[in-house]
Amino acid sequence: MQKYVVLILIILCSFDTHAFKSSSHSKSDTLQIISIALPPLQFYNDQHELEGYFVEVIKAAMATTSLDYDMALYPWARSYKMAQNEQNVCIFSLNRIKEREQKFNWIAQLAETHSALYTLKTHNVKIRSLNEAKKYTGIAIRDGVYHQLLMRNGFEENKNVYVVGNSDALVKVVYSKRQVDFILSDDVILNRLAKKLKLDPEAFNRQFYLDITPLKDYIACSPQTSSIVTNQLKQAFNTIKHNGVWENINNKWRSKLGNIIL
């Protein structure tokens, strides 16, 4: 009898160990797809559910794969760091510029945006170029595309660039701090952020379009993510592009996206 009890215990321990390993393996294999809150492209609704044009496109693509995934929105600096350093992490709404070219595995282009320099009407200033803008103070999200573009063009943090962690803070600071003169954005996103924060979207003047636009918005993965995963993702976006699903999503969102090119 004692021998049977020992045998049963061995079998149960083996089962528990196997179950633990399977659970651990499954968790590590889950693809994390991350970004920053940026309405109307990606945002949490009042029920804390993810919505937005990019969210719908990505969900449609993922539905054609066998990959397990989670989607979440974080401060941009956190998402950007994760997508450079962690396995099985993909980031979206990532503008493809030369500073980033070798840092990511680029999966699919999602859209193009025409960006411009905006000032508050109350500041009553005229800025005709980025070089001229150096006499003023701008604001950008840390490690965001505009932060990197300003650094490339000779701006300096804490001198003529004020850096914040997320898009809500970006607009709030522009409204509340007299020393911030300009912001880089596009009409649609700037208006949606202002409305979300119950601020006046008509308070801005567009000074000029940036000569580096249109910026190409991509979904991309960390260099540590395996080619098996990235190849599946590339195929997934090709599938919805050619079977009409992506175009149906475009038609649904087109009127809400203004000058964003789909």
**Is the same domain home to 70 and 40?**
yes
**Is the same domain home to 128 and 244?**
no
**Is the same domain home to 169 and 231?**
no
pLDDT of residue 3: 46
Q: Is 207 exposed, middle or buried (0-12, 13-18, 19+ CB in 10 A)?
A: middle
User: Which residue positions in the chain have pLDDT lower than 70?
Assistant: 1-28, 177-178, 213
What letter represents residue 6's amino acid?
A: V
State the pairing for strand pair 50-51/69-73: unpaired
**Is the same domain home to 68 and 148?**
no
**Is the same domain home to 82 and 205?**
no
Task: Determine the structural domain holding residue 176 and report its residue range.
Answer: 116-209
Q: Is 43 exposed, middle or buried (0-12, 13-18, 19+ CB in 10 A)?
A: buried
**Is the same domain home to 205 and 229?**
no
pLDDT of residue 122: 84
Q: Tell whether 6 is covered by a domain.
A: no
**Is the same domain home to 65 and 186?**
no
pLDDT of residue 9: 39
Q: Tell whether 22 is covered by a domain.
A: no
Q: 87-146 pLDDT, tens per residue? A: 999 999 999 998 899 999 999 999 998 899 999 888 889 999 999 999 999 999 999 999
Q: Tell whether 100 is covered by a domain.
A: yes
pLDDT of residue 28: 65
Domain count, the chain: 2
**Is the same domain home to 129 and 252?**
no
**Is the same domain home to 95 and 161?**
no
pLDDT of residue 27: 52
pLDDT of residue 165: 87
Q: Is the pTM here over 0.85, yes or no? A: no
State the pairing for strand pair 161-164/138-141: parallel
Binning the chain into helix, strand and coil, the percentages to the nearest 5 are 45, 25, 30
**Is the same domain home to 156 and 169?**
yes
